[in-house]
Amino acid sequence: MSEITLVEAVNQALAYEMQADDNVVLLGEDIAKNGGVFRSTVGLLERFGPQRVLDTPLAESMIAGVSIGMAMQGLKPVAEFQFMGFMYAGMEHIISHASRIRNRTRGRLTCPLVFRTPYGAGIHAPEHHSESTEALFAHIPGLRVVIPSSPVRAYGLLLAAIRDPDPVIFLEPTRIYRLVKQTVPDNGQALPLDKCFVLREGSDITLVTWGNMVYETLKAAGQLAEQNIQAEVIDVATIKPLDMQTILASVEKTGRCVIIHEAARTCGVGAEIAAQLAERCLLCLMAPVKRVTGYDTIVPYAKMEKHYLPTAEKIIKAVEDVLSYEG
């Protein structure tokens, strides 16, 4: 069995579920004939035909609205927005309708759909192509927000997202689309939503992260281990609903925490995690929780983005600050 990249794992999961369930349909800009801007849907038109793999106009509001209509009529649409920055035109439908169908009908109806989009910086693209605004969607009741960080997790989490009866925002970090390869059995086994993954166990400090930043965090943890600092690394994976139990259990063990995300600092998901740690684990903490994040600016263009994104060096500095804290 050959190893595949994250974007290939997305394709593999889509193909598996389309084969298993005739109600699964794909729609989006250039996803059919061209196979998607990142080639995540390549070959699916030829395999499943134009009635199930649909090219749409450049109209994100229409994509969102049509997807909701499909879901309300018994289909399971998986809609792709070319980049996260293009989703905003569809947010009225996503917030006002997709997220509210279950509540509006008092549980009589659900809205089983997935909105996929590449997200995050690191590929030297201009604004709207480098957005990390996951906190916008995490704030909306009725939406589930999932961010895979490896081929294995992309495959398993996407299967779970398509099978979920409620709307899922599925954010795929562009920087790591082809960064690593893994063996991903095409066995249809979903991974659990709403659960963190402990990627590395440690006893000295907890590092909490997701998406693109998982690899910088693991790199930092490896370098810290050379200094005999054992960092536990947690991939949040589903940022809404948030699995605080796994994070709390880790911080209760280590007594220290650094949260890493590439999104802007103010009102980011890291702030929510820090707030819950303060409310529920304050007496376990031996130092204040520290965040390593992007800045409260638009992601700068091209090579300047390296100054925006958190790095292993910045993470190590934050860990050293937390470990040296004397209250």
Sheet (strand 24-28) strand order: 53-55, 24-28, 76-80, 114-119, 168-173, 144-146, 238-240
222: amino acid identity, one letter: G
The one catalytic residue in 93, 97, 129, 261 is 129
The answer to whether 197 and 210 have CB atoms below 8 angstroms apart is: no
The enclosing H or E element of 138 equals helix 134-138
By the 10 Å C-beta count (0-12 exposed, 13-18 middle, 19+ buried), 228 is classed as exposed
How do 168-173 and 114-119 pair as beta strands? parallel
Under 8 Å between Cβ of 294 and 113:
no
CB atoms < 10 A from the CB of 77, how many? 25
d(CA 198, CA 211): 14
Quote the DSSP letter at residue 299. P
Annotated catalytic residue 129: yes
Q: Which two tokens stand for residue 210?
A: 């997701």
Q: Pseudo-torsion of CA 10, 11, 12, 17, nearest 10°?
A: 90
Active site residues: 129
